[in-house]
Amino acid sequence: LSIEYLPLPGLAVEDIDTPALIIDIGAADENIRKLQAWCDAHNLGVRPHAKTHKSPFWAHRQLEAGAIGLCASKVSEAEVLINGGVSDVMITSQIVGRPKIERLMGLAGRANVTVAVDREDNVRDLSEAAVAHGAELGVVVEVNVGQDRCGTLPGEATTSLARAAEAAPGLRFDGLLGYEGHVVATRDAGERKAGAEAAMDRLFAAADGVEAAGLPVNVLSAAGTGTYNVTGAMDRITDVQCGSYIFMDGDYMEVMDDFRPALSVLSTVVSRPAPDLAVLDVGRKSISMDRGFPKVLGIPGAEVFALSEEHGKMSVTQKPGTPAVGEKVALLPMHGDTTIALHTNYFVARAGKLESIVDIAARGCFT
């Protein structure tokens, strides 16, 4: 194989073998800077969610730009971040069961680790483990702000759990977490704003109760990419936990254009069975479809209308014969997080040339 085909720095993006997840690092860095600048101007901490990129490489770029720490969904994601040199991680899920709590203690001994809680029995389990390990673990009480998934209700349920956390040996009660995930992708900006405000009313009511009980709420963390400039504009919010803003995706681009799409999946035409049909070498194993079919970039009128495991069918309306078999086609996934989770590497490009290959280190880390 001639050297011009090897995925070395300088290779033209369109010569990268496919399917490949391409990141335009210029766009990603601009997104990182833009959120940081906005939050700096609003005296707000940025704690980006690593569930999107699953990679210390991107975490460090966010930290260098000014982030106060990272969020992670799972203990295993936090392990990858902390092993990769990140020193402050908030796990936004409840960590249940002895094996995971033991792993959490291993992390708490060498980084500032905070975890979400929504039950007293879990607080007791975490406290006992922290005491046994001589560790200090931060906890935030997750408040159900309307997503109706995990979290306590505002009022006595939240306040009593905060009290329990504050009193528990080995734990450090940091404050409250509320994620308005049910409204972050609402298309209408007015509705999205109203939804975020209603959600934050619940979070602030919960915080009122906790503060009335004499407990300090040092952390009030909320917001996703779609609500960073609504939720983040509220004075009481201390930090935002946006994830998708770094790369965006087809779905979020329908919500807002505050950030630029930085990711695409490069594919190859492998068959042209009919003048209006091209078959691509991407399928459900290389591009997610939980938010719909990917958008075709750069070919007006072309649409992906079917994805099987390893094939995509693309309708072509422009001049017959193009794109030809062997030509590359770039696709914008509708959902970045679930697409990234399918891949092993980022092919990081700058100005159309490959710059580096970065492993998606926390791929498959869902324990």
Name residues contacting a second copy, limited to 276-335 (CB under 8 A).
277, 279, 281-286, 288-290, 308-311, 313, 325-326
Nearer Cβ to a second copy (39/328): 328
The residue from 59, 164, 223, 269 that contacts a second copy (CB under 8 A) is 269
Contact between 202 and a second copy by CB under 8 A: the answer reads no
| Residue linked to tokens 């680790």 | 113
The residue from 1, 3, 41, 351 that contacts a second copy (CB under 8 A) is 1
Q: Nearest distance from residue 50's CB to a second copy, in Å? A: 12
Stretch that binds a second copy, among 23-31, 79-87, 143-151, 210-218 (CB under 8 A): 143-151
| Residue linked to tokens 């509708």 | 334
The residue from 218, 317, 318, 367 that contacts a second copy (CB under 8 A) is 367
Q: Nearest distance from residue 210's CB to a second copy, in Å? A: 19
Contact between 3 and a second copy by CB under 8 A: the answer reads no
Name residues contacting a second copy, limited to 13-42 (CB under 8 A).
17-20
Q: Nearest distance from residue 313's CB to a second copy, in Å? A: 7
* Size of site (CB under 8 A) for a second copy: 61
Contact between 121 and a second copy by CB under 8 A: the answer reads yes
Which are the contacts of 276, defined by CB distance < 8 A and separation ≥ 6? 315, 316, 317
Nearer Cβ to a second copy (73/112): 73
Task: Tell me if 79 sits within 8 A of 103, measured CB to CB.
Answer: yes
Question: Alpha-carbon distance 331 to 343, whole Å?
Answer: 15
* Residues near a second copy, by CB under 8 A: 1, 5, 17-20, 51, 73-74, 93-94, 96-100, 102, 118-119, 121-122, 144, 148-151, 181, 268-273, 277, 279, 281-286, 288-290, 308-311, 313, 325-326, 337-338, 341-344, 363-364, 366-367
